[in-house]
Structure 1
Amino acid sequence: MGGIFDAVLAFMDKGGDVLWLIAILVFVMWTLIFERLWYFTFTWRKEVFEVIKTWEARSERKSWNAKQVRMRLLSQSREAINANLPVITTLVALCPLLGLLGTVTGMIEVFNVMAVTGGGDAKSMAGGVERSTIPTMAGMVAALSGLFANTYISRMAAREQEYLQDNLTSDH
C-alpha cells in the first residue's frame, strides 16, 4: 500500500502545486456528483410520493388557486432536483482552466531555467515541461469525467421533473 501512496505523491510532486488544486477541485466535484446520485436513488422517490400525495389530497384541482398550488409544488421540487447542478457545472469548467494555470506555471519554470543556464540545457528544461504537461492532462481528464457525470445527472433531473409534472394532473 505504501508503494501506491508513494507513487501518487511522486506524481503530484511532478505536477506541482496546481495539481493539488485540481485534486481538491475534483474531490469536491465528485462529492457533489455522488450526493446528487444518492439523492435521486434514495431520497427523491419519497419526495415525489409526498408531493403527489399532497396534490391528490386536494378536493379540487381546476381552479386558479389549485393551479398556483401545483406551480408551487413543482417549483419546490425543481429547486430540490437541481440543487448543486450549477456548482457541478462550474467545477467542470474550472478543471481545464486550472490545467492551463499549471501549463503557465510550468512554462515559467522552463523560461527561468533558460534564463539561468543560457537556454541550452535540455535536461534542466525537461522538469518544467513535465510540470506544465501533467496539470494540463489532469485538468482535461477531470473535466471529461465531470462532464459525462454532469450530463447524466442533468438528464436524470430533467426526466424526473417531467415525470412529476405529468403526475400532478387536474383532470380527475
Structure 2
Amino acid sequence: MFVEFFEAIRDFTETGGQVLLVIGLLIFVMWLLILERALYFFIWHKHFKNETIAKWNARQDKSSWFAEQIRQAMISRVSLRLNGPVPIIQALVALCPLLGLMGTVTGMIEVFDVMAISGSGNARSMASGVSKATIPTMAGMVGALSGVFASTWLARISKTEKMHIEDAMAMEH
C-alpha cells in the first residue's frame, strides 16, 4: 500500500517537474505551522491566558498610568504568543502561486524547446512540457487556497482572543 502511494507521488512529481517538489515542501511546512498554531490555541493558550489574567487581578494598583503600561505590556505578550508564526504562514500562502507561476514558465520553456528541436507543433511531443506547465500552477493554487482559509481562521481567532483578554483586564477607574 505504501509502495503504491509513493509511486503515485513520484509519478505525479515527474509529470509536474522539479518545481512541484518545492511547492510540495512549501505546503508541507505551511501546514505544519498551521497545525502548530491550532494546537497552541486549543491546548496551551488557555493556560497562558488564565495565568496572565490572574497576574493582572492580583495587582493592587489597576488605575494608574503605570498600571496601564503594565496592562498593555501583558496584552502585547499574549498577542505575540497568539500571532506566533501567522505572518510566516501568510507569506508562505503568498509564495505558493508564485512558485506555481515559476513552474508554468519552466514548463513552457520545455514546450518551446521541443518546438525548436522538432520544428513543428507536434502535440504529442509537447504534452510533457504542457503538463509541467499546468500541474505546478494547479498545485500552487490549491496550496494557496487551503492556506488562505487556514491563515484567515488563525488570524480571526488571534484577534478574538486578544479582545477577550483586553476585556478581562479592563481598567478600573
Q: What SS does the corresponding residue of 2:84 show, helix, strand or coil? A: coil
Distance between the aligned counterparts of 1:92 and 1:41, measured in 2? 23
Superposition pairs of residues 59-138 of structure 1, within 5 angstroms: 59-138=60-139
**Sequence identity percentage:** 49
- Give the count of matched residue pairs: 172
Question: Is 1:147 paired with 2:148?
Answer: yes
The alpha carbon displacement at 1:7 in A equals: 1.0
Q: Structure 1: which 5+ runs fail to align?
A: none
Q: Give the Å deviation of 1:171.
A: 2.5
Q: Which moved more, 1:4-13 or 1:156-165?
A: 4-13
Shift of 1:3: 1.5
Q: Deviations over 1:52-85 (max 9, x none)?
A: 0100010120011111110110111111111111
> In structure 1, how many angstroms separate the alpha carbons of the residues matched to 2:26 and 2:171?
45
* TM-score, length basis structure 1: 0.98
Match for residue 160 of structure 1?
161
How far does the alpha carbon of each residue in 1:4-41 deviate from its partner, in whole angstroms, 9 at most, with x for none? 22111100110000000000100110011001001001
RMSD (Å), alpha carbons: 0.9
Render the CA deviation track for 1:93-127: whole Å, top value 9, x for unaligned. 00000000000000000000000000232111011
